[in-house]
């Protein structure tokens, strides 16, 4: 291979790697979303937040953000330090909001439900509560699926009784195939950051990005869409 050809190949490889590096940097900083859903198909948009987003200026949040899911609790005794301020702040600017609980695999379902009940007020027009089921950041030793599902049912029935609505389950395929085999999921919140979801009735909320930039929030934030029309969202409880 002659030298000019080698230089062209090396230059081409350099451009390819530079492009990949730039795309990765834009993704990590929240400026590029590879899986952005159609605003025509999904007009109702939201975010989900916790103390990781720091202090949020809810007055600066764009009007395009119509709902917010806010981390409330984790396990049997943890309460997100920013839950109260985020709950009140979103309410003051008329953003529909709901609370989510990070479910610990090594804690009893009833005790976890009691933590959620102590922390999350029952208010009109709130979004359905959410149970966040993830392997990452959870107990290293997995329970037997039957034991886990029994505890999860206790959690679900307890908060259904208190809030009068079916909770939504946020989970990903690995967790589902490991611990949720055969478990009926009535309402589903699905994460998918690189592949679009089918526009069907198998899910209610799609988390399409974990690194979005939103005015009023200094850190990147998770972004979501509701699977339905504005009228369907307004009637959703």
Q: Is 2 a catalytic residue?
A: no
- 109: nearest Cα among 148, 64, 162, 60: 148
Catalytic residue among 134, 172, 176, 210: 134
30: left (phi over 0), alpha (psi -120 to 50) or beta: left
Q: Is 224 a catalytic residue?
A: no
Q: What is the DSSP annotation of 149-163?
A: HHHHHHHHHHHHHHH
Q: Are 209 and 48 in contact (CB under 8 A)?
A: no
Q: Is 147 a catalytic residue?
A: no
Q: Which of the 8 DSSP states describes residue 221?
A: E
Catalytic residue among 74, 80, 132, 224: 132
Handedness of CA 139, 160, 166, 229 (dihedral sign): negative
Catalytic residue among 48, 74, 80, 151: 48
Active site residues per annotation: 48, 132, 134
């Amino acid at each position: 291979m002659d030298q000019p050809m080698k230089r062209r190949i090396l230059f081409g490889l350099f451009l390819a790697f530079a492009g990949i590096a730039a795309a990765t940097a834009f993704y990590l900083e929240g400026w590029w979303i590879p899986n952005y859903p159609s605003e025509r198909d999904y007009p109702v948009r939201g975010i989900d937040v916790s103390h990781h987003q720091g202090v949020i200026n809810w007055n600066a949040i764009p009007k395009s953000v119509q709902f917010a899911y806010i981390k409330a609790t984790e396990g049997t005794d943890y309460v997100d330090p920013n839950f109260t301020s985020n709950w009140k702040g979103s309410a003051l600017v008329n953003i529909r909001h709901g609370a989510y609980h990070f479910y610990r695999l090594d804690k009893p379902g009833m005790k976890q439900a009691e933590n959620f009940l102590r922390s999350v007020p029952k208010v009109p027009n709130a979004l359905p509560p959410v149970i966040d089921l993830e392997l990452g950041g959870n107990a290293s030793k997995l329970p037997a699926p039957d034991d886990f599902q029994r505890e999860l049912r206790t959690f679900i029935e307890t908060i259904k009784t208190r809030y009068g609505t079916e909770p939504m389950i946020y989970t990903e395929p690995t967790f589902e195939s490991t611990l949720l085999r055969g478990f009926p999921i009535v309402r589903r919140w699905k994460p998918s950051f690189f592949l679009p979801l089918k526009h069907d009735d198998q899910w209610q909320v799609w988390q399409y990005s974990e690194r979005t930039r939103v005015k009023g929030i200094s850190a990147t934030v998770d972004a979501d869409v509701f699977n339905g029309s504005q009228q369907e969202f307004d009637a959703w409880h």
